[in-house]
Chain A
Amino acid sequence: MIDTITSFLASDIRTATPLLIAGLGILFSSRAGIVNVGTEGFMLVGALAGVVGSWLTNSSLLGSLFAMGVTVLLAAIFAFFVVYLRADQTVVGVAINTFALGATTTLNRILFGMNTSPPLINVFDVVPIPGLSKIPIIGDALFSQPLLTYLAFLSVPIAWFVMYKTHIGLKVRAVGENPRACDTLGISVTKVRTGAILFSGALAGLGGVFISMGQLSFFTEDMVSGRGYMVLAAVVFGRNNPVGVMLATLIFGAGDALMYQIQAAMSGVPYQFSMMLPYLITLIAVCAFKSKTRPPAATGIPYVKE
C-alpha cells in the first residue's frame, strides 16, 4: 500500500512537471491577454527538437536548449500573426498545432525511419537529493526526480515574485487588463505581448522536452496528445496565478498517474477507460471552476494603436 502511494506520488509529480513548466510560461502570455491555443504545437515541436538536439549533441542540456530555441522561433511566428497582423488568436493557434503535427511527423520519419527502434539518446537522469530522498513514503516520491522537476517546482515562487512584485510582472498584467492605458503611459503593448509569447514558447517547448526525455526516452507521433490544452485549462483552473497553476497541474497530473497505476495494477479495467481519465479530470475541473475570478479584461482582443 505504502509502495503504491509512493509510486503514485512520484508519478503524479513527474506527469505534472511538463504541464507545470509549460503552464508557468503560458501564465505570462495569458496574463498579457493572449489565448495561446498553439501550446499543444509548441510542446510537440519541443518534444521532437529535444530528442533531435540530444541525439546530435549527446547532451540532454544542449538538446533542451536547442528545443527551446526552436520553439521560440515558432512562438515568434505566432507573435507576428497575433500581435502584428492582429489575426484571430485561436485560429493562429490551430494553425500552429496543425503545422507542428505535420512537421514533427514528417521529420521524425525522415530522421529516424518508421519501424526502426528509436535512437539511444541522453535523457534526464533521476537525481536523488542526499538525505531527503531517504524520508519514508514521500522521500522517494518528492526527492528522487529529474533535476528539471525540482527546477519547475522551485520556479513557482519565483514566477509569483516576478508576476506580483516586479516591474515586468506589473507591465504584463497591465497590458492584459488595459492595453490602451498602458499605451498612454508609454508602455509598448506590442513589445510586452511579444515578449510574453516568446517566453511562453520557450517554456512550452521545455515542457515538451520533458515529455519525450523525462517521462520517456524517445519521440512518438502526436505524443503530446492534448496536454497542451490541459496546460491552458490549468492556467484557467489555477485562476491565472502561479500557485494555482501548480496545484492544477498536480491534479491533472494525477489523472495521468492514475492511468498508469490502473494499467499496471488492475488488469480488469479496459485501458480505454483509464486513458480517458486525464481528459475527464480536466473536463470536470474546467466546469467546476465557474469563474469566480475573471480572466484579464483584454483577453483575446488584438490591440490597435490609435
Chain B
Amino acid sequence: MRSKLKPEKIFQLYFPIVAILAALLLTAIVISVMGFNFVEAIQALFVGAFGSLGAIGETLNKATPVILTGLSYAIAQKCGIINLGAEGQLYMGALAATIVGTNLNGTPSVIHITITLIAGFLGGALYGIIVGLLKNLFDASELITTIMLNYIAMAFCGWCISFPLKDTEATSNFPQSRAVLESVQLPRLISGTRLHAGIILAVLAIVFYYVFLKYTKKGFEMRTIGLSRSVAQNAGMRLSTTSLLAIFIAGGFAGLGGAIELLGVQFRLINAFSLNFGFDGIAVALLGNSNALGIGLSGILFGALRSGSNRMQMITKLPVAVIYMIQSFIILFVIGRSMFDFRKLRVYKRFAKRKMLQGEKT
C-alpha cells in the first residue's frame, strides 16, 4: 500500500522543527554571551550523541527513561490531568524494582526480569494513584500534590538506601542499595556498546500507548474527559474511576522508566538516581504533541542532548545544566507556536486573499 503524504502531515512537523531551531539559536546567543564558543559546543554535543556506535547506544539508553516519563505526562494530559509527578513515580518504581531485583536469587532470568519490571510499574502506578485519590476526595490540585509527592518520594528512597536497603558491604561512603542480581540486568543489544534492551521496552510502551488510546473503550473515555468533562459526564462516563486509571497508567509508565534505568544502566538505587527524567518527560510530551511517534522522536532528541552534553562539558567546560535551558526554550517555542504561524503574517494574508479572490472569479 502506498501512503500518500498529505500536506497537513508535513505541516505537523513545521512547528516542532521551527521550535527546535529557534531554541538552538537562542541557546547559541545565550552561551556566546557567557563567553563560550557555540560552534565548538554544538559540535561536541553532536559527536557525543551520534559520533560512534557507542555514542548512539548511549543516546538510546538516555532516551528510554524520558520516553517513558513523556508517555506518563502524555496519557495523564489526554485525560485532563497535569502529571508533574513523574519524577517521584519514577523513584518509587525504581525502589520497588530494587527490592525485587536484589532478592529472589535463583529465579530464571526472563521471569525475574519480568516480575521486576512489573514491580517497577506497580510502584510508580500506586504512587501515581495517590494523586488521583487526593484529587477525587479532597479536590486537591495535582499541580501541588505531585510536586510535594516528588520530594517525599526522594526523601523516602534516600532513607531506604541509608537504612533497610543499604549496601553494608559497599566501600563507598555514599548511601546506596545493593546492586541488582545479574539475572535481572537487561541484556546488551550490541556488544561493545552499553545499549541495553530497555529501548525495546520503550517502543512497546509507545505501541501500548497508541493502541490503548486509539482502540480501547477506556482510552476513548480518557480522551473524551480530557476534551470536555461535561460531555463525558453527559455521556454517562465515570469520571473519577477513569481518571484514576489514567494516573495509574501514567505513574506506571514513569515507574517502569525507573525500573528500566535501574536494570539497564545504574543497577543500584542511589541518591540523585534520576537525572531530572521526570521533568524531561514533560518537554518530550509537549514537543511530541502527545503523539505516539512524536514522543518517540522527541525522546531520542532529548536523549541525544543528555548523552552529548557530557562530552560538551568535557571539551568546552560548559556545564551540563545548559541543556535545561535548551529544553525550556523548546517548550516555550512549542507552546508559544502561534508566534511562528506564518499564516498570521501580513504577507501571507495578502497572498491568501488574492488567491481567494482569484478563486471567486473563475
| Interface residues as binary, A246-277 with B (CB distance below 8 Å gives 1, 0 otherwise) | 00000000000000000000000010110110
Q: What residues on A are CB-neighbors of B276 within 8 Å?
A: 101
| Interface residues as binary, B304-336 with A (CB distance below 8 Å gives 1, 0 otherwise) | 000000000000001101111111110110011
Contact A95 B144 (CB under 8 A): no
Q: Does A153 contact B (CB under 8 A)?
A: no
Measured between C-beta atoms, what is the minimum distance from A201 to chain B in Å?
16
Contact B143 A290 (CB under 8 A): no
Contact A279 B151 (CB under 8 A): yes
Q: Does A62 contact B (CB under 8 A)?
A: no
For the complex of A and B, list the 7 residue pairs with the smallest distance between their C-beta atoms, beginning with the closest. A102-B324, A99-B328, A105-B321, A272-B159, A95-B331, A102-B325, A287-B138
Q: What is the chain B residue whose CB lies nearest that of A295?
A: B141
19 contacts between A and B (CB under 8 A): A35-B143, A77-B332, A81-B336, A85-B338, A88-B335, A90-B82, A92-B331, A94-B279, A99-B329, A103-B324, A105-B321, A107-B34, A226-B148, A226-B150, A226-B151, A229-B148, A275-B158, A286-B134, A290-B139
Q: What is the chain A residue whose CB lies nearest that of B30?
A: A103
Q: Does A1 contact B (CB under 8 A)?
A: no
Q: What residues on B are CB-neighbors of A229 within 8 Å?
A: 143-144, 147-148
Contact A102 B335 (CB under 8 A): no
Contact A279 B331 (CB under 8 A): no
Q: What residues on B are CB-neighbors of A226 within 8 Å?
A: 147-148, 150-151
In Å, the complex CA distance between A280 and B130 comes to 13
Contacts between chains A and B (CB distance < 8 A), count: 139
Q: What is the chain A residue whose CB lies nearest that of B151?
A: A279
| Interface residues as binary, B266-306 with A (CB distance below 8 Å gives 1, 0 otherwise) | 00000000001001001100100000000000000000000
Q: What is the chain B residue whose CB lies nearest that of A92?
A: B335
Q: What is the chain A residue whose CB lies nearest that of B326?
A: A102
The count of residues in chain A whose C-beta lies closer than 8 Å to any C-beta of chain B is 46
Could you say which of A77, A92, A105, A286 contacts B319, with CB atoms under 8 Å apart? A105
Q: What residues on B are CB-neighbors of A102 within 8 Å?
A: 321-328
Could you say which of B84, B159, B328, B335 contacts A273, with CB atoms under 8 Å apart? B159
Q: Does A4 contact B (CB under 8 A)?
A: no
Q: What is the chain B residue whose CB lies nearest that of A40?
A: B147
Q: Does A283 contact B (CB under 8 A)?
A: yes
Q: Does B211 contact A (CB under 8 A)?
A: no
Contact B144 A81 (CB under 8 A): no
With most chain A CB atoms within 10 A of its CB, the pick from B148, B159, B163 is: B148
Q: Which B residues lie at the A interface, using CB under 8 A?
A: 34, 82, 84, 134, 137-141, 143-145, 147-152, 155-156, 158-159, 162-163, 276, 279, 282-283, 286, 318-319, 321-329, 331-332, 335-336, 338-339
In Å, the complex CA distance between A273 and B156 comes to 7
Measured between C-beta atoms, what is the minimum distance from A253 to chain B in Å?
15
* A232-B143, A291-B139 known; A276 vs B279 contact (CB < 8 Å): no
Could you say which of A98, A106, A270 contacts B159, with CB atoms under 8 Å apart? A270
Contact B321 A106 (CB under 8 A): yes
Q: Does A209 contact B (CB under 8 A)?
A: no
Beyond known contacts A81-B336, A99-B328: 15 more, CB 8 A cutoff: A87-B335, A92-B336, A96-B328, A98-B325, A102-B321, A106-B321, A226-B147, A229-B143, A229-B147, A232-B144, A272-B162, A283-B134, A286-B134, A287-B138, A289-B138
In Å, the complex CA distance between A103 and B321 comes to 7
Q: What is the chain A residue whose CB lies nearest that of B282?
A: A94
Q: What residues on A are CB-neighbors of B324 within 8 Å?
A: 98-99, 101-103, 105
In Å, the complex CA distance between A112 and B319 comes to 13
| Interface residues as binary, A218-250 with B (CB distance below 8 Å gives 1, 0 otherwise) | 000000011001001100100000000000000
* A85-B338, A270-B162 known; A276 vs B156 contact (CB < 8 Å): yes
* A270-B162, A272-B159 known; A279 vs B148 contact (CB < 8 Å): yes
Q: Does A288 contact B (CB under 8 A)?
A: yes
In Å, the complex CA distance between A77 and B26 comes to 14
Q: What residues on A are CB-neighbors of B329 within 8 Å?
A: 99
Measured between C-beta atoms, what is the minimum distance from A57 to chain B in Å?
21
* A98-B324, A102-B323, A270-B159 known; A286 vs B141 contact (CB < 8 Å): yes
* A88-B335, A99-B324, A288-B138 known; A233 vs B152 contact (CB < 8 Å): no
Q: Does A91 contact B (CB under 8 A)?
A: yes
Q: Does A37 contact B (CB under 8 A)?
A: yes
Contact A91 B151 (CB under 8 A): no
Q: Does A282 contact B (CB under 8 A)?
A: yes
Could you say which of B139, B148, B150, B332 contacts A92, with CB atoms under 8 Å apart? B332
Q: What residues on A are CB-neighbors of B82 within 8 Å?
A: 90
Q: What residues on A are CB-neighbors of B326 within 8 Å?
A: 102
Q: Does A109 contact B (CB under 8 A)?
A: yes
Q: What is the chain B residue whose CB lies nearest that of A221?
A: B321
Q: What is the chain B residue whose CB lies nearest that of A282?
A: B148
In Å, the complex CA distance between A133 and B276 comes to 45
Contact A287 B140 (CB under 8 A): yes
* A272-B158, A289-B138 known; A91 vs B148 contact (CB < 8 Å): no
Q: What residues on A are CB-neighbors of B319 within 8 Å?
A: 105-106, 109-110
Q: What residues on A are CB-neighbors of B143 within 8 Å?
A: 35, 37, 90, 229, 232
In Å, the complex CA distance between A103 and B31 comes to 10
Contact A99 B144 (CB under 8 A): no
In Å, the complex CA distance between A112 and B339 comes to 37
With most chain A CB atoms within 10 A of its CB, the pick from B138, B279, B328, B338 is: B328
Q: What residues on B are CB-neighbors of A225 within 8 Å?
A: 151
In Å, the complex CA distance between A25 and B284 comes to 31
Measured between C-beta atoms, what is the minimum distance from B342 to chain A in Å?
15
Could you say which of A106, A110, A236, A291 contacts B325, with CB atoms under 8 Å apart? A106
In Å, the complex CA distance between A99 and B328 comes to 5
Contact A279 B152 (CB under 8 A): yes
With most chain B CB atoms within 10 A of its CB, the pick from A95, A229, A233 is: A95
In Å, the complex CA distance between A90 and B279 comes to 13
* A283-B149, A286-B144 known; A91 vs B335 contact (CB < 8 Å): yes
Measured between C-beta atoms, what is the minimum distance from B6 to chain A in Å?
27
In Å, the complex CA distance between A98 and B276 comes to 10
